[in-house]
Amino acid sequence: MLETGEPVYSPVTQEGPLLTEDLIKEAEEFVLRTGSCGAGCSQLLSDMQAFKAANPGCILEDFVRWHSPPDWSGSDPINETEESYNFRDSTSKRGQLSSRMQKEGAERSAER
């Protein structure tokens, strides 16, 4: 974990529903049209809760690194000096959120 240096444990998560290509496209269009994550939020929330239970003391960035590695770019925190991390800046010597995660509204969605 970024703050404590402890290993990250991968929790057992619930399997998401199987979706056809049409249903995936429909869900994406719904998100674009309404700005809401809809049913996908419940799966994300479930994954976040499982991750937090398996990794007490974790921070949002730990979850992003585990759940969606392409949304995090950074260096190995073991060899970096400790630095306080300001989520609003979305950067640190330990790494940074992807440009997709730094877009307006991404922070609010991730904090839910």
pTM score, whole prediction: 0.59
**pLDDT recorded at residue 7:** 92
Share of the chain above pLDDT 70, in %: 71
E strand residue ranges, the chain: 72-73, 91-92, 95-97
d(CA 54, CA 40): 21
Contact 32, 40 (CB under 8 A): no
Contact 102, 90 (CB under 8 A): yes
Select the highest-mean-pLDDT range: 12-26, 71-85, 89-103. Answer: 12-26
**pLDDT recorded at residue 52:** 95
